Amino acid sequence: MAKSALLKSSIAKKYWMALTGLFLCLFLTGHLLGNLQLIFSDAKHFNEYALFMTSNPAVKILSYLTYISILFHAIDGLMLAAQNKAARPVGYAKTNPSANSSFASRNMAVLGTVILIFIVTHMVNFWAKMHFDKNMPLAQQESMQMPGQMEFIGVPGSRVPSIPAQGKSLHEIVDEVNKQAMAQAQAMGEKNLEKAKKFEVEGSDAIKDLKKGEIIFKGYKDLYKITIDFFKQPKYGLLFTLLYAASMIVLAFHLLHGFQSAFQSLGVTSRKITPAIKFFGTAFAIVVPALFAAIPVYIHFFLK
């Protein structure tokens, strides 16, 4: 029996490939439903969804499980492909692969590698900015009290519900307040001007009261703006849209074989069940990637 660094049995590896693959199908479904708000909803609801997905404890646990599943699925898939190739080092004299297997089944490792590259670049452009970019823009809306003026919106539970934007970033607003406080302290003869600072920005979305040591404002990170700007930028927006759509075609081929293969690996086969699985798997492999691809196409070509 073949051995690997992850799992000793090739059968066990196939079980784990199937389970992680089906789990990732569930993730794709949930992720798609959230992203479709870019077409069928508005910035407010999409940013509320983004906040929920990055702050809810249960979702965070599922996110970590998703990251682990992606890595495990990719590594184990490549190892299985290498193992299968090593098991047949000498090709047959006459072969006709297309007659015995589909294009997707023969190229699962290649398709999976392309998808992995897409996932990494996708996370760099969106996930990493959402979590780590200190210049991440915050969502704004027109002020109810002062029509025509924009304000940053506080999340539920924020002590300060909104802050006038005045065409500035949160960092610029806090810097101005602190400079005024330091100037007043200097005029009064204070030597340690750093102690005069009232607030500081934590990350890109929160203001901390330095005197009380607590967060008084937390805004919505504007993932909607980041996404729209990414696909509508004049120079590379069309290229990014086409690459995204092409990646979804690759995903469709990967799912076309992988979905059905997962149930087969788990032993879920019968004369009644198998045709239904094949039908649902084919529909899933077409509809889900097509809807994902429709999002950047809609943004780039149709969103005003």
Using an 8 Å Cβ cutoff, are 181 and 197 in contact? yes
Q: Quick one: pLDDT at residue 6?
A: 47
Q: Quick one: pLDDT at residue 191?
A: 87
> For 249-277, what is the mean pLDDT?
94
Q: Quick one: pLDDT at residue 237?
A: 98
List CB contacts of 123: < 8 A, sequence separation 6 or more.
none
Higher pLDDT, 6 or 185: 185
Using an 8 Å Cβ cutoff, are 256 and 112 in contact? no
> Where does the pLDDT of residue 96 fall: very low under 50, low under 70, confident under 90, or very high at 90 and above?
low
Given a cut of 70, whether residue 188 has pLDDT beyond it is yes
Q: Quick one: pLDDT at residue 1?
A: 41
What's the angle, vertex CA 250, arms to CA 249 and CA 256, rounded to 5?
90
Delineate the domains of the chain, giving CATH numbers in brackets. 10-86+101-136+223-301 (1.20.1300.10), 140-218 (no CATH)
pTM: 0.88
pLDDT digits (tens, 9 = 90+) for 107-128: 888 999 999 999 999 999 999 9
**Mean pLDDT of the chain, nearest integer:** 91
- Rounded distance, CA 30 to CA 210, Å? 39
Residue 195 in tokens:
């102690």
Given a cut of 80, whether residue 100 has pLDDT beyond it is no
